[in-house]
Amino acid sequence: MLKHIYDFVVIGSGISGISAANTLIKNKKQVLILDKARNSGGRLSTRFHPKFSFDHGAQFFTTKDKEFSQIVQKALQTKDIAIFDHPEKGTVYMGNPVFRPFISKLTGPLEIMQNALVTHIQKPEDRPDEHWSISIADVPAVFSKNIILTMPATQANVLLPSYLKKLKHTTSQAIYEPCISILAGVEVPLSSSIFPGNTKLLDKPILLQKGNISWSIAKWSCSNENNTAYLSVVIHSTPEFSSKHIEQDVINFSNCLWEEWKSHIKTDDIFKVSALPKNISYLKGHKWRYARVTKTADQKCERTNQKHSIAVAGDWLEGPRIESAWISGRNAAISLLPQD
């Protein structure tokens, strides 16, 4: 049987992988994205529960890049993205109410295999014109003329064959800090003493940055039918707290960060926190080992090896932001496309 050979395989369906694939399909290339996760988006990630929804990775972004700005403008029109007035950063963009619909629109035209953990990529060093063989856990290998790695640098480093010394060196330069993220969901009857005289509370997200909490956002949603308000809270712990606890089971400190969040709400008198029900409906944690890039790879380092048809991309090359990841993915794709 003849084996199918893609023009491009992109590993990772985060923003940089989506951007790379988007550029490639615009150039009529046949592209497959492989991602080990259940859903696309990478660190721009949403978790759903029947009553709550949480963006537990990236929270908001800004845009300057022309192409990315146009995409965001479209998403504003379809209401997948909303403008948010950030107290320090001014106008930023957020998921409306979460990022998943935005990601779904971006990935709609792309061929993506989720739950596909790439374990190995292979091509003989002395036969650069051969195709890549890409091994995936539990499913048959796939083959491609070109390959783009878009995962965090540390993970890309492990996959790169040892003969691609310069690319390996590039991946060894990036430094990350971790983030422990807590997701809490609480159901509050609309008759609760939290609300009378304070119904405006339901309209605006509650932001909090204090103590071990570097960022927190709490959003209300409402069911008049059930006479209930649902509070979805995302808490990101500081880099110091996260580094200290990253090797521990997240369950150990979910509760303590939740209690800390409530204590700040109480001290700042944001609402009557004692009126929250004692039993919390949802409490989960997530450990982002490679959350925020604190040092990007040197601009002069190799990002593409044209001879072997392979490139790397990700926020660790351009900067720790959604838009930088987008730019990086596009750059990687362009670097492997035939030049006019």
Ligand X SMILES: Cc1cc2nc3c(=O)[nH]c(=O)nc-3n(C[C@H](O)[C@H](O)[C@H](O)COP(=O)(O)OP(=O)(O)OC[C@H]3O[C@@H](n4cnc5c(N)ncnc54)[C@H](O)[C@@H]3O)c2cc1C
Number of other residues whose CB lies within 10 A of the CB of residue 258: 19
Residue 42 makes contact with ligand X by CB under 6 A: yes
Q: Give me the least distance between CB of 125 and ligand X, in Å please.
A: 21
State which of positions 142-181 bind ligand X (CB under 6 A).
150-152, 155, 179, 181
178, 246 in Cβ contact below 8 A? yes
Count helices and strands in the chain by DSSP H and E runs? 9, 17
**Angle 182-186-187 (CA atoms, 0-180°, nearest 5)?**
160
Residue 234 makes contact with ligand X by CB under 6 A: no
Strand-pairing partners, residue 224, are none
Instruction: Tell me which of 8, 52, 61, 176 binds ligand X, using CB under 6 A.
Output: 61
Residue 236 makes contact with ligand X by CB under 6 A: yes
Burial letters 111-138, b for 16+ CB under 10 A, else e: ebbeebebeebebeeeeeeebbbbebee
- Closer CB to ligand X, 214 or 255, in the complex: 214
Q: Give me the least distance between CB of 224 and ligand X, in Å please.
A: 32
275, 217 in Cβ contact below 8 A? no
Residue 59 makes contact with ligand X by CB under 6 A: yes
- Closer CB to ligand X, 162 or 339, in the complex: 162
CA within 13 Å, CB half, 300: 0
Number of other residues whose CB lies within 10 A of the CB of residue 51: 17
Q: CB pairs under 8 A, 24+ apart, for 227-230?
A: 227/189, 227/190, 227/191, 228/187, 228/188, 228/189, 228/190, 229/187, 229/188, 229/189, 229/190, 229/192, 229/195, 229/202, 230/51, 230/52, 230/185, 230/186, 230/187, 230/188
Binding mask 99-138 for ligand X (x = CB under 6 A): -----------------xxx--------------------
Stretch that binds ligand X, among 97-105, 165-173, 302-310, 316-324 (CB under 6 A): 316-324
Q: Give me the least distance between CB of 318 and ligand X, in Å please.
A: 9
Residue 315 makes contact with ligand X by CB under 6 A: yes
Q: Give me the least distance between CB of 123 and ligand X, in Å please.
A: 17
With contacts defined by CB under 6 A, how many residues of the chain interact with ligand X?
38
Instruction: Tell me which of 8, 10, 35, 192 binds ligand X, using CB under 6 A.
Output: 35
* Interacting residues with ligand X (CB under 6 A): 11-17, 34-37, 42-44, 57-61, 116-118, 150-152, 155, 179, 181, 236, 288, 291-292, 314-315, 320-322, 325
